[in-house]
Structure 1
Amino acid sequence: MSVPHLFRCPISLDIFTDPVTLCTGQTYDRQCIERWLADGHRTCPVTMQALGDGDTTVLVPNRTLRHLIERWLSAATDHSLPESADDDPSLAALKRCLQSDATSVAAKIGALKKVLALASESDVGRACMLQLGFLCVLLPLVFHAAPAAPAERHAEAEELALQCALSLMPSNAAAPQLDCLNMLKKEDNLASFVRLLGRGSGRAKAGLCRLLETVATAAATRDLALVVAASPRVWQALLPLLQQHAGPATDARASEAAVRAIAAVCAAEPARGSAIHHGAVGALFRHLSWWAYGKGGGAVSSALAAVEALAETEAGRRAVARAPGATRILVRHVFMMSSSNDGSEHAAAALLAVCRESRAARSEAVGAGVVTQLLLLLQSQCGARAKAKARALLKLLKSR
C-alpha cells in the first residue's frame, strides 16, 4: 500500500502505531520519541527547537491522527472479499482466509506464506497487520487442540503461523497487542504449547522459547508468566532443551532460546520457587558444565543470569550447594574472555551469594582458583557491579 506521508513517523519513517505530539506541535511515534529523549537529546527532531525540562515529559496522544490511520487502514482493506486469498492479496482477504473454519489447511498455508513474506519485507506491512489484529488471528492457529489425525500439513501450518506471529511481535514490552498472548491462560491452549514444545521441530521449539521470553517480560502478560512458571508440564518440556546444545544447528538454537526464556522467567521473584522446585538449578549447571572456558556466548551469560537470580533465594542457594560441581563451574566462569563481561558479573554475584552461607563452598572456591579469577576480572574492563562483587567476594574469602 502507498502510505500517506502524514501517516509516517518522521524519525522511523514507519507508519504510526502510537502517535504523540510534542509541545512544538510535531507528532512522533511514542517509542521513537521516547528513545530520542532517553538518549539525552533536548530538541525537537524536526524543528530542532530546544525543549525545557518539563517539555520532555509531556507527550500528548494524537487521537485524531490515530483515528484517521485506523479509518485509512479499514478503507484500504475493506472491499469485496473473494473466496480465496489467491484471487485478492489484500490484508483483509488474508485475514479472512486465516479466520475461516471452512478454509482448507493448504489454503491457510498459502496465506501464511504471504503474511510471512510481507512481514519480512516491509516494516509498513508489519505495522499494518499488527494494527489490523493479525496477531490475535495467528496465535489460535498455533495453539489449538491437536488434530485427530496428525498430518505433516497441520504441523507445517502451526510452524508457519508461529513464525508469522513472532515476526509481528512488538518489540515494546508495554505494547497492548501483547494481550493476545493471554489466551495461553486457558488450559487447552497451554497444553498445546507444551505439546509443541516437546514434539515440535527445533525451529518451532526455538520460536516457542522466544514467545515464552516475551510472556515473561511483557507488562500485559505478568499473570500469565506466573501461570506458565507454575506449570510442571512446561518445565518438563523446557528443561530438556538445555541439553541439546551439542546437536544439530536447529536444536542448538532451541537450546540457547530456552536458556534465555528461563532467565527471563527467573527474573521475576514469584516464579523462582517453582523453577527451583522443578529442577532448573541442576539443569542450568549441566548446561554450563558443557561449555569450555570462555565459550558459549549469550547462552552462558543467560544461564549465569538465571543462576544468579535463583541464588538470591535461600532455596536456590541450597540447590546450588547440592548441584554436583556447581561451585567449580561458577569459578570457571568468573573471568570470561569475551566482548561482554555480563557472564562474569553473574557468576561472581552467584558465587558471592552461595559463599556467604557455606564455608564448604568458600573452601571449594579457593581450591578451584577463584582468587586468581577474581584478580583477572578486576584487571579487565568489566563494569562497576562486577568489580564490586569481585571485591566483596575477595574480602569474604580473606576472612574465612
Structure 2
Amino acid sequence: MVLPWGIRRAGRRAGKSKEDSSIDAASLDTEIAVPMPFRCPISLDLMKDPVTLPTGITYDRSSIERWIEAGNASCPVTKQPLGGAGRFDLIPNHAIRKMIQSWCVENCSLGVERIPTPRIPVTLYEVSEACKRIAAAANRGDAKRCYELVGKIRSWVKESERNRRCATEGGAGDALSAALELFGSASTEGRRGGLLEEIVSALAQVRPVSEEGLARLGSATSLHCILGFLNCDDLSSRQNAVLVLKEAISSNRIRRRALVEGIEEALVRMIREPIGPTATNASLVALFNMISHSPNSDKTRSKLLHLGLVPLLINLLVDSPDKGVCERVLGVLDLLCETREGRDEAFGHALTMPILVKKILRVSNLATDFAVAILWKLCKNEEGDERRALIEAIQVGGFQKMLVLLQVGCGEGAKENVRELLKLMNLYKDRVDCVDSSLDFKYLKRPY
C-alpha cells in the first residue's frame, strides 16, 4: 500500500508574469508516493525519529511515546504486551532513518526536505548524575562548573518536550533551586559569570517537584535574586523570572509568610509593560495566589490598588484577545472587589460595566462565573438609593445577559448571583434605556 503525499514543487522562475505564475503553480501540484515502511504505523506520517520496540515494529518516537504515556501497555500493531510501566528500550532504527534521509534527498527537487539526524534523548540516569554534580559544585562554590552543568540541562530541555519531562522527573528543578539559593547568598561572583541568570532561565522550563525544592525556591535569598531579574531591562530575563516566581508563590510554605519587599511593584510593572501572553499569564497567576493566600491579604490588596492595578486590568481585558489572560484578569479583579476600596476603584473606571457584561458567555464558563461574581459585588454592595452600578449594568445590556445566562445554564454559585441580580435589576429596568452589549464600548461615556 502506498499513500500519496501532496507536495508543491519548489520554486518559480523569476521574471514570469503574475498570470503565468498562477498557471504554472497549478500545473506543478503533484503527489509524491511515500513508501509505507517510511511511515509511522500510528500517525501514518513520514518518520523523523524511527525507533523499534522489542516486538520488532518500528514507530516514530513521538507517536509511540504518546501511545505509551496514554496508558497503553501493548504494541499497537502486534498487540503483544510491553514491559511493565514502560520499562523497555526504544531502540533507534538507524537503517530506516538513513533510508528515509536518502529518499528525501532524491525527492528534494519536488519540495521534500531532508529530515535532520535526531539526537538521542536524555535518560533519567544522565539527569540524576548531572543533578548530583550541580549539588557538589554548588556546595564547594564552584560557579564555573555549575554554570557548565546548568547549561547542559538547558540544552537537553530545549531539544524536546520529552527531555523536559525527563529533566523534571529526574529532579533537575530541585537541584537548580538549591543552587539558586546557595549562589544567591553570595551572588557577586555568580552574577559576574551569568550563573544566576542561567539558573533562572533553566528553572523557567524545569520546575521543582519536591516540597524542599519549592521551599528553597521560595526562600528570601532566592526571591531577592528573582526580584533582581524582574526589575532588569532584559525582556527574556524578566519573562523567565516571572515564570519562576509563579512556581515559587504556588508553594504552600511560601503562602504562609510575607514576600520580600518589591514583589508587588515588579508584578504590576509586568502588567503595565507586557512582554507577551506567557509572561502576562504568569504575572496574573502570581497575583491571584498572592491575594488569595497571603497571610495579610487585605494589606496586599490595598497595596496593589494604590499601585493602580485595577485600571491596568480593565484595559488589559479590553485589549487582550487571549482566553487565558481574560480568565486570569477577571479572577484577580474578583479578588480585588472583595473590599470597598477595590469596588470603588473598579466602578471608577468607565469601561468596567460594559466590558464585564460583554465578556459574559463570550470567553469561557470560568470567565463568565468571574464576571457575574464581580457584577454581583458591585451592584449588591452599593450604598444609598442611587444604585448607579445597577443602573449602568442595565444600560449596557446586563439584564438581557442575565436572562440568557439563566436559560443556557451556569454553575450553582453563578446561578445564585444571577438570580439575585435579576431581582435587583427588575426594579429598575423600565426606568432606563438599554443598549446592545455586543457593541464596541471604547468610546462610551457615562450619563452622570
Quickly name the TM-score band, shorter chain normalised.
0.5 to 0.7
Cα root mean square deviation, aligned:
3.7
Superimposed CA distance per residue, residues 343-384 of structure 1 (whole angstroms, 9 cap, x where no aligned partner) = 111011011011112222112212222123323333446433
Q: Which residue of 2 aligns with 1:8?
A: none
Q: What is the aligned counterpart of 1:259 among 267, 284, 288?
A: 284
Which amino acid counterpart does residue 137 of structure 2 have in structure 1?
Answer: C
Q: Which residue of 2 aligns with 1:354?
A: 378
Partner Cα separation in structure 2 for residue 137 and residue 269 of structure 1: 24
Q: How many residue pairs end up in the alignment? A: 301
Q: Partner of 2:171: helix, strand, or coil?
A: helix
Which amino acid counterpart does residue 273 of structure 1 have in structure 2?
Answer: D
Q: Which residue of 2 aligns with 1:4?
A: none
The one of the two structures with greater contact order (alpha-carbon pairs below 8 A, sep at least 6) is: 1
Deviation at 1:342, TM superposition (A): 0.8
Partner Cα separation in structure 1 for residue 340 and residue 310 of structure 2: 17
Q: Which residue of 1 aligns with 2:414?
A: 386
Deviation at 1:149, TM superposition (A): 11
Q: Which residue of 1 aligns with 2:151?
A: 113
Stretches of structure 2 that go unaligned for 5 or more consecutive residues are 1-67, 72-84, 86-124, 429-448
Q: Please say if residues 167 and 206 of structure 2, whose CA atoms lie closer than 8 Å, have aligned partners that are also in contact.
A: no
Partner Cα separation in structure 1 for residue 182 and residue 395 of structure 2: 54
Which amino acid counterpart does residue 356 of structure 1 have in structure 2?
Answer: K
Q: Which residue of 2 aligns with 1:304?
A: 330
Deviation at 1:165, TM superposition (A): 2.7
Superimposed CA distance per residue, residues 171-193 of structure 1 (whole angstroms, 9 cap, x where no aligned partner) = 6xx84432213422x5xx54433
Q: Which residue of 2 aligns with 1:45?
A: none
Q: Please say if residues 109 and 160 of structure 1, whose CA atoms lie closer than 8 Å, have aligned partners that are also in contact.
A: yes
Deviation at 1:292, TM superposition (A): 4.3
Partner Cα separation in structure 2 for residue 255 and residue 122 of structure 1: 22
Partner Cα separation in structure 1 for residue 333 and residue 305 of structure 2: 9
Partner Cα separation in structure 2 for residue 160 and residue 307 of structure 1: 34
Deviation larger for 375-384 or 310-319: 375-384
Partner Cα separation in structure 1 for residue 227 and residue 338 of structure 2: 28
Partner Cα separation in structure 2 for residue 114 and residue 239 of structure 1: 34
1:321 aligns with 2:347: yes
Q: Please say if residues 170 and 178 of structure 1, whose CA atoms lie closer than 8 Å, have aligned partners that are also in contact.
A: yes
Q: Please say if residues 156 and 164 of structure 2, whose CA atoms lie closer than 8 Å, have aligned partners that are also in contact.
A: yes
Q: Please say if residues 378 and 389 of structure 2, whose CA atoms lie closer than 8 Å, have aligned partners that are also in contact.
A: yes
Give the TM-score taking structure 2 as reference length: 0.57
Stretches of structure 1 that go unaligned for 5 or more consecutive residues are 1-10, 15-27, 29-72, 78-89
1:211 aligns with 2:240: no
Q: Partner of 1:211: helix, strand, or coil?
A: helix
1:220 aligns with 2:253: yes
Q: Which has the higher helix share?
A: 1
Cα 1:277–1:125 shift into 2, 3 Å: closer
Q: What is the aligned counterpart of 2:168 among 107, 126, 132?
A: 126
Matched ranges for 1:331-370 at <5 A: 331-333=357-359, 335-338=360-363, 340-358=364-382, 359-370=387-398
Which amino acid counterpart does residue 416 of structure 2 have in structure 1?
Answer: A
Q: Please say if residues 206 and 258 of structure 1, whose CA atoms lie closer than 8 Å, have aligned partners that are also in contact.
A: no
Superimposed CA distance per residue, residues 286-316 of structure 1 (whole angstroms, 9 cap, x where no aligned partner) = 2332444893311111111111122223333
Superimposed CA distance per residue, residues 302-343 of structure 1 (whole angstroms, 9 cap, x where no aligned partner) = 11111112222333323323345333332332x1423x2211
Q: Partner of 2:231: helix, strand, or coil?
A: helix
Partner Cα separation in structure 2 for residue 379 and residue 293 of structure 1: 29
Deviation at 1:211, TM superposition (A): 3.1
Cα 1:244–1:136 shift into 2, 3 Å: closer
1:268 aligns with 2:297: no
Give the TM-score taking structure 1 as reference length: 0.63
Q: Which residue of 2 aligns with 1:32?
A: none
Which amino acid counterpart does residue 116 of structure 1 have in structure 2?
Answer: R
Q: Which residue of 1 aligns with 2:51?
A: none
